[in-house]
Amino acid sequence: MQRAAALVRRGCGPRTPSSWGRSQSSAAAEASAVLKVRPERSRRERILTLESMNPQVKAVEYAVRGPIVLKAGEIELELQRGIKKPFTEVIRANIGDAQAMGQQPITFLRQVMALCTYPNLLDSPSFPEDAKKRARRILQACGGNSLGSYSASQGVNCIREDVAAYITRRDGGVPADPDNIYLTTGASDGISTILKILVSGGGKSRTGVMIPIPQYPLYSAVISELDAIQVNYYLDEENCWALNVNELRRAVQEAKDHCDPKVLCIINPGNPTGQVQSRKCIEDVIHFAWEEKLFLLADEVYQDNVYSPDCRFHSFKKVLYEMGPEYSSNVELASFHSTSKGYMGECGYRGGYMEVINLHPEIKGQLVKLLSVRLCPPVSGQAAMDIVVNPPVAGEESFEQFSRAHQMAPDMFYCMKLLEETGICVVPGSGFGQREGTYHFRMTILPPVEKLKTVLQKVKDFHINFLEKYA
């Protein structure tokens, strides 16, 4: 340190600016030359080190993108540089990222986004009217009619309205209020923001946050950042990872010894477990939260990822309302959704929303204030969220392509259209089994030759037309 100080006093007393006037790149060259000759001597201790840094941040553990993922990145670079490995590519199965795995984006969503991005395209005949309609609506609600303006911190008004309408539809009529909708930078942002507001107290009255184990690591990370107390409740692996209210009871009782359990986080459908909670289970959880005075966080980003025919997604909001006023006007709930999952898989746009129920009006003000500090969520992500909640409807131009894209197997769709448009009834190939990514149909050739000729001509015309429309 003495030496360093001396060095500097020599190099840095009062001087005229012109003494720094040598060419910049030669100065840089000199800098690195000096560094090479005596790299250690002029190095002081860093101000920011593992010892001096924020201990809560240091304590954060984050598995989904930890060292394994960094290593994966390195291996990819090595493969690119031609280094031989026992494999030729890295398969990133660590994170739920559909498009990185090759899923194509939904055409309609991207059309609307492109129109919003570059409104000159609104004059282009190659974009469908319904996409233009959506884009115009979004742009009209943006400052300067541009995605490039900051939006309100809570999100663009008309998009919050669309979200509210979506929730109302989804929940069979249980009303949603746009004022309770907050657009976010992915669900991650909503979850960490509401937790940030919730955590308080010191010592034994520090806020405890109950999370499922296994959990999605965002929760433990944010709890650690906020220096809150993580309260684990275990999902029942023997029972398809079901949530058992007795386990919640055990966890909360034990936690009360050393913290103030105030928040209960639920992930439904679960990640990483995939389990879908029954309606009865959700009721039990809500009753438990009511009883124990817990603020409920319902992470419902996988609401469109229910695959088993025996399961159905029930939103916490809907069940809460159906349980009657004692619950629906008392239990405080924040629920989360995202553009990242479902059939859209638009992770990169960082779109999401949070709906809050029974939030104290003063706290709503605090929430907006807190969100304002970071100005607004990305407006393109907000627009993507709008399309997730406001997709094409029957009668609109893009409806068929869209429905096919996110629901029907292509061969089923093809055969359905063929039947509707020509009356010819054939069987989708998938009923018989086929190589992945190829599509077939089966038809009998029993009709008499003349009839078969017309049939085949019809199929041919239909086929050409179909490819033009949907390829």
Ligand X SMILES: Cc1ncc(COP(=O)(O)O)c(C=O)c1O
Residue 93, both tokens: 């199965």
Q: Give me the least distance between CB of 188 and ligand X, in Å please.
A: 3
**Which two tokens mark 209?**
């946050």
Give the residue, chosen from 230, 232, 305, 358, that forms a contact with a second copy under the rule CB under 8 A: 358
Closest-CA residue to 252 (of 201, 298, 293): 293
The contact set with ligand X (CB under 6 A) reads: 96, 186-188, 216, 218, 267, 271, 299, 301, 338, 340, 347, 352, 375
Contact call for residues 99 and 342 (beta carbons, < 8 A)? no
Closest CB to ligand X among residues 282, 412: 282
Identify the three-state secondary structure at position 61: coil
C-beta of 180 vs 192, nearer to ligand X: 192
Q: Which of 138, 141, 198, 210 binds a second copy (CB under 8 A)?
A: 198
CB of 219 to ligand X, least distance (A): 8
409-448: which residues touch a second copy (CB under 8 A)?
A: none
* Cβ-proximal residues to 251 (8 Å cutoff; 6+ apart), any chain: 210, 231, 232, 233
> Which parts of 72-111 interact with a second copy (CB under 8 A)?
73, 92, 95, 97-103, 105, 110-111
CB of 350 to ligand X, least distance (A): 7
| Minimum CB distance to a second copy, residue 426 (Å) | 30
Write out the binding residues for a second copy, residues 236-255 only, by CB under 8 A: none
Give yes or no for residue 359 binding a second copy (CB under 8 A).
yes
Q: Which does 169 bind (CB under 5 to 8 A by kind): a second copy, ligand X, none?
A: none
Q: To which H or E segment does residue 272 belong?
A: none
Question: How far, CA to CA in Å, does 117 sit from each of 99, 109, 339?
Answer: 20, 12, 18
188 or 328: CB nearest ligand X: 188
Q: Which is nearer to a second copy, 91 or 445 (CB)?
A: 91
Within 10 A of 202 (CB to CB), how many other CB atoms are there?
A: 7
71 binds a second copy, rule: CB under 8 A? no
Residue 448's binding partner among a second copy, ligand X, none (Cβ under 5 to 8 angstroms by kind) is: none
> Is residue 57 within the footprint of a second copy (CB under 8 A)?
yes
Does 378 bind a second copy (CB under 8 A)? Our answer is: yes
- In whole angstroms, what is the distance from residue 196 CA to residue 78 CA? 40
Contact indicator for 407, 378 with CB cutoff of 8 Å: no
Instruction: Give the gyration radius of the chain's Cα atoms.
Output: 29
Cβ(4)–Cβ(44) below 8 Å: yes
Identify what 338 binds: a second copy, ligand X, none; CB under 5 to 8 Å per kind: ligand X
Phi, psi torsion values for 108, nearest 5 degrees: -60, -45
- The C-alpha atoms of residue 91 and residue 88 are separated, in whole angstroms, by 10
Contact by Cβ (8 Å): 414, 433:
no
* Inter-helix orientation angle 245-255/279-292, to 10°: 20
Q: Quote the least distance from Cβ 456 to a second copy, whole Å.
A: 32
Please report how close the Cβ of residue 98 comes to ligand X at its closest, in angstroms: 11
Output the smallest distance, CB 143 to ligand X, in A.
13
